[in-house]
Amino acid sequence: MRKRAGCCSLCDVEVFEVGDRKPNGDPKQILAPLENARRLTLVLWSGHTANLTLCGECQLTPDRMSEIHATMVEALHRGTQHRTIPLEPAAAETERRMLYMATQDIPMGVLEDRLWTEVR
């Protein structure tokens, strides 16, 4: 699934207030988190952590870990695709390696699951 900025990583409903929008309606400017938005911190296979935001309804059960991983990797790839000037060869190699590592770096579990209102 294509993750939209400011939206739940599982069901894609908006979990942040939105300021400006793109012509297609996607959020362009992300403001404060909504009341029911939750910030999850995941532990990845490498030992690194990753944060994502879910709405109040979604539960990140073990069977949805691969789905959330695919969404995270897809978002990383998309973030590298809008360059007008190509990267230097060394930077391109670093980026290629980073994307490869991300595909291997599967989420192992949830370290923390808090309401955004408690995070601030």
Please give the residue ranges that form the binding site for Zn ion (CB under 5 A).
Answer: 8, 10-11, 55, 58
Rounded distance between C-alpha atoms, residue 116 and residue 15, angstroms: 10
Q: Determine the Cα–Cα distance for residues 82 and 63; give it in Å rounded to an integer.
A: 32
**By C-beta, is 44 or 58 nearer to Zn ion?**
58
**Residue number with CB closer to Zn ion (95 or 117):** 117
CB of 57 to Zn ion, least distance (A): 5
Query: 10 or 34: whose CB is closer to Zn ion?
Result: 10
For the purposes of burial, counting CB atoms within 10 Å of the CB of 99, is it exposed (0-12), middle (13-18) or buried (19 or more)? middle
